[in-house]
Chain A
Amino acid sequence: MTATIGPTTPRGARRPRGARRTAVAWLFLAPFTLVFLLYTALPTVAALGFSLTDLRGTDLRHPLAVDFTGLENYLRLLADPSFLRDILNTVLFVAVGVPLTMGLGFALALALNSGIRRLRGVFRTVFFAPVVTNVVAVAMIWQYAFNANGTVNKVLGAIGFAGPNWLDDTHLAMPVVILLGVWRNFGIAMVLFLAGLQAIPQDVYEAASLDGAGRWRQLRHITLPLLMPTTLMVSVLLTVFYLQVFDEPYLLTGGGPLGSTESVALYTYQQFGVGEFGMSSAASFVTLLLVTLVSIVQFRLLRPRA
């Protein structure tokens, strides 16, 4: 295929007419839209409805008979200090966890992309393996490792430090939970960055290095800018996942000690577990709101400048 440039014409003249292009586009979108409407849009709207009622477990068979309570669930949520604390916990998890995960994933993607010939596949697989593992088993190991007499403290003891009881300390439990999250997910960041790095044509680098640009300059002026769409995607994805963090606090600490690691998703789940469907839905929507706001901010900040 040749990249011939035809006779210069105004852009519009060579494109199919707008209406046909719209029709084609929606054809492309059709399968996704169908699944989306059925399994996401409809249930979300229903859940919004539930959040405005006092739907409970006993109402499951006649959801229409519930009382419309308006914003009462939301008010109860905002008045619950546990819920507010959980929001702070979750934000902390995201604020620390996302940069760490992204940074690690990016560094490894760079390293694996920079001419390491041998064992590239092995390395990539090893780093991706945590993403794939059964989180229940891993959480068990983490609990043992960070026990008062666990491996981590044994290692620290060998170099002369007396390790604390990590998961029992209200200040140290969250870092351990974050560590688990980072360990589990950096492989995804790495894979996504790898794909993004691959989209950058080699010629651009060759041209630059012939022009005398060193490694760091290439990184700053070629890689990072061209990687913006990928960086935005990784950032948004990780933020969205981490704002809904559940497995790590649930399995590692149950939200303790003293609720210092309890996340909003854990709160929502607990409400669901006791049959408080109205409250659970309301908590989900607060999460949704939070996630949306943060994502909008990220899109504004990281939008690729064309």
Chain B
Amino acid sequence: MTTIAAPRNADMADERTRVRRRSVARPLLYGALVLCALLTMLPFVWVLSGSLRGLDEIRSDPGAWLPHHITLDNFIRLFRTEGFGGFLVNSVVVAVIVVAGNIVAASAAGYALAKLDFAGRRIAFGAVMASLMVPFTTVFVTQFVITVDLGLADTLTGIALPGAALPLSVFIMRQYALSVPDELLEAARIDGAGELRVFFRIFLPLAGPAVATITIMSFLYSWNNFIWPLVVAQSTSTYTLPVGLAATSQAAAHVTDYGLMLAGAIVVMLPVLVLFLFLQRYFVQGVAGTGMR
């Protein structure tokens, strides 16, 4: 921990230059960010606009950017869809299982791979990396056979289980943990704390950003997952939101209900964005200021 020396005059001059540069740079930075943000949002304008247009309008003039008549019809139909509430509940339950599993199981695994020196560590990490690389198409049929053999077909647990400990989460936690100084953990061990205590009491509180990232990523994976829940469900009452929405948009005669699909796209997006907004502050927490006092 360094002591703050008394500022020298030369430092003050530098400081002033820096402040001046910063005050020119700052608006530029904001400007650039706003530009990027606008470009990023452009496609959403279309999705939002489409969701607020009537179905006939979409069919007769699909490429338009702004609605001729704004209508909430698509959203109303979406919420009135038979089983919508059920799809939503199913998605939430699956997401909770997946996120909880990832925070506990994957964090523990990532921590172990980064901070504990043990026999077989390299192989274990290699296995984690390998599982990241296996394409879904290769494995999902066998995964389904296993799910059936476990008696989990047509259950929400069956849908959630394969995603409950994502190699992605393990990887994220491992890399983050590598950045956390060993000294903190060593000190605790020297003080006599057992490994479990070190993990739960010392490490996890510091791992805010990583846990937040894992939460978002695993929630996202679970929330938008489509093919797997479709395969596992044997009846519409087990459908999750993406599956239910796809089914509903195709329930119209001969054509995909694009209005419903776009309204669904907006509705499905919102919870994740809200979660992300909420987790913002945990991204800001860091090792800074809490470790080296």
Contact = CB atoms under 8 A, between A and B. Distances in A.
A265 to B, nearest CB: 6
A187 B104 CA distance: 25
A291 B213 contact: no
Nearest to B211: A195
Given A131-B220, A191-B216, A287 B142 contact: no
Contacts of A39: 139, 143, 146, 161-162
Interface stretch (B67-75, B88-96, B106-114): B106-114
A127 B146 contact: no
Place the interface of chain B in its size category. 35 or more
Nearest to B181: A201
Contacts of A42: 142, 146
Place the interface of chain A in its size category. 35 or more
A43 B149 CA distance: 13
The binding surface of chain A is classed by DSSP as helix
Contacts of A26: 112, 118, 120
B165 A202 contact: no
A36 B139 contact: no
Interface string B23-66: 00010011011001100110110110010000000000011010
A202 B288 contact: yes
Nearest to A9: B190
Interface in B1-28: 1-2, 4-5, 11, 14, 18, 22, 26
The binding surface of chain B is classed by DSSP as helix
A199 B43 contact: no
Nearest to A268: B137
Contacts of A206: 2
Nearest to B45: A141
Interface of B: 1-2, 4-5, 11, 14, 18, 22, 26, 29-30, 32-33, 36-37, 40-41, 43-44, 46-47, 50, 62-63, 65, 101, 104-106, 108-109, 111-113, 116-121, 124, 127-135, 137-143, 146, 161-162, 164-165, 167-168, 170-172, 175-176, 178-180, 183-184, 186-190, 195-196, 199, 202, 209-210, 212-213, 216-217, 220, 224, 261-262, 264-265, 268-269, 272-273, 276-277, 280, 283-289, 291-293
